[in-house]
Amino acid sequence: MTGIEVWTEKYRPEKLDEVINQKHVVERLRVWVKQGNVPNMLFAGSAGVGKTTIALCLARELYGENWRQNFQETNASDERGINVVRGRIKDFAKMKPLGADFKIIFLDESDSLTPEAQQALRRTIESFSGVCRFILSANYSSRIIEPIQSRCAVFRLRGMTEGDAKEYLNRIIKGEKLKADANALKAIYEISGGDLRKATNLLQASAALGKITPKSVYEVAAQANPSDVLEMINLALSGKFTDARKKLHDLLINQGLSGEDIIREMHRQVLNLKIPEKNKLNLVEKIGEFEFRLNQGGSEDIQIEALLTHFLKAKK
């Protein structure tokens, strides 16, 4: 395992062919690269699915080794106002491309821009269309004003499947010569929710403890281990409320887990319980109610203990 090198950057794909899962996007981009011209684009999708990576790969394939001279990345969540559009973005757009027909401005998390800033961006896109292309990334495309969306080719990036995540993680495991349990990779995928950036960080943190196991993954993620939560639920279902309460206190106090994490894992476990479907529906409804109570400032131990009483009734 290498020193302090960050694996999210070390193993970030550098070519479009290396991008995981997003074939419907990569195929169209590859055609435009051959033509030497691209339109303005909007990449929409959840965190960690490859929006920034695809933009960087595209720039490398268009401009070669000198891609940085014709590529600017700006994170809109850092500077949300109109000044960032009038200043940094407009100044770069005015500059003449170096050895190319156009430059690329990549605006990450563009859905964080204020409506006024987006209107200014629309005018900037129009004014410099001859020498500049804009690539916008957004978690929520609905927060981008329609005049900007109509000026862009919109790509909706898909979430990562478990197979996609394992393919990428195995690249790192092979490159770093790690030992990893197959169930550990499954745990990383479940915790990361398809976010490859988060999955990579979990893998690197787990690798620091030696062999990567489900136990080490849940430890570094500070997430509830499904087996522990299932044990607590089964104790409640079997009528052993006092034992279920002790297990809850172990999760909250000894393991230092948050009440929200425990409730989320309880929600995942409910669908696999061997109880009538009607009771599952009631439990899902109650879980939603108690999660809301926690978000409103309710006491973690009291609220989850109260939730466990409904599991006690569900078996009857």
At residue 316, the pLDDT reads 61
At residue 246, the pLDDT reads 94
Q: Has residue 13 been placed in a domain?
A: no
Q: Has residue 8 been placed in a domain?
A: no
Q: Are residues 129 and 253 in the same domain?
A: no
Q: Are residues 39 and 144 in the same domain?
A: yes
Q: What percent of the chain is helix, strand and coil (3-state, nearest 5)?
A: 60, 10, 30
Domain end: 194, 221, 248, which one?
221
Q: Are residues 198 and 261 in the same domain?
A: no
Amino acid letter for position 276: P
Domain end: 131, 156, 181, which one?
156
Contact of 184 with 155, CB cutoff 8 Å: no
CATH of the domain at 143: 3.40.50.300
Q: Are residues 212 and 234 in the same domain?
A: no
- 133 has which bridge partners? 104
Whether the pTM exceeds 0.85: the reply is no
Q: Has residue 42 been placed in a domain?
A: yes
Residues in the chain where the model's pLDDT stays below 50? 1-2
> Which domain, by its residues, includes 86?
22-156
Q: Are residues 72 and 147 in the same domain?
A: yes
Tokens in use for 127? Answer: 């004014």
- Kindly state the greatest CA–CA separation across the chain: 75
Residue with tokens 């960690």: 48
Residue (of 253, 248, 254) closest to 229 by Cα position:
248
- The number of domains in the chain is 3
Q: Are residues 142 and 215 in the same domain?
A: no
Contact of 293 with 303, CB cutoff 8 Å: yes
At residue 85, the pLDDT reads 73
Orientation of helix 162-176 relative to helix 182-192, angle to 10°: 120
Q: Are residues 178 and 246 in the same domain?
A: no
At residue 1, the pLDDT reads 44
At residue 267, the pLDDT reads 93
Go through 170-182 and write b for each residue having 16 or more CB atoms within 10 A of its CB, e for each that does not. eebbeebebebbe
Q: Has residue 10 been placed in a domain?
A: no
